[in-house]
Amino acid sequence: MYLAAGIVPIADHASNVGKWLIDNKCGITIPNIESLDDAIQSISRQEYDELEIAVKSQQNKVRQGYYTQKLVKLINKKMFTYPI
């Protein structure tokens, strides 16, 4: 929901969401809640601007149903591909 709203998300870096954010360079990941303040304070303006650009790209994909369509295609491929 944060991406759809254009907000930079924050997640635990060990979670699946955190790993996805790292892979797509569109969020902040932290090892624990205690490190949140340091993580936010350590981001430079340039890094934040780059995050915003990446979030905007993901925002468009989420709003246009890119990931839903990708999942449906994958499911259809798995369901309707029969070995001969």
Does 84 reside within a domain? no
- pTM for the model stands at 0.74
* Structural domain harbouring 29: 2-79
83, pLDDT greater than 90: no
**Percent of the chain that is helix, strand, coil (3-state, to 5):** 65, 5, 25
pLDDT confidence tier of residue 81, bands split at 50, 70 and 90: confident
The count of structural domains within the chain is 1
Does 57 reside within a domain? yes
pLDDT tens digits, 10-67: 999 999 999 999 999 999 999 999 999 999 999 999 999 999 999 999 999 999 999 9
* CA 38 to mean position of chain CA atoms: 21
Cα 38–Cα 44–Cα 50 angle in degrees, nearest 5: 120
Does 68 reside within a domain? yes
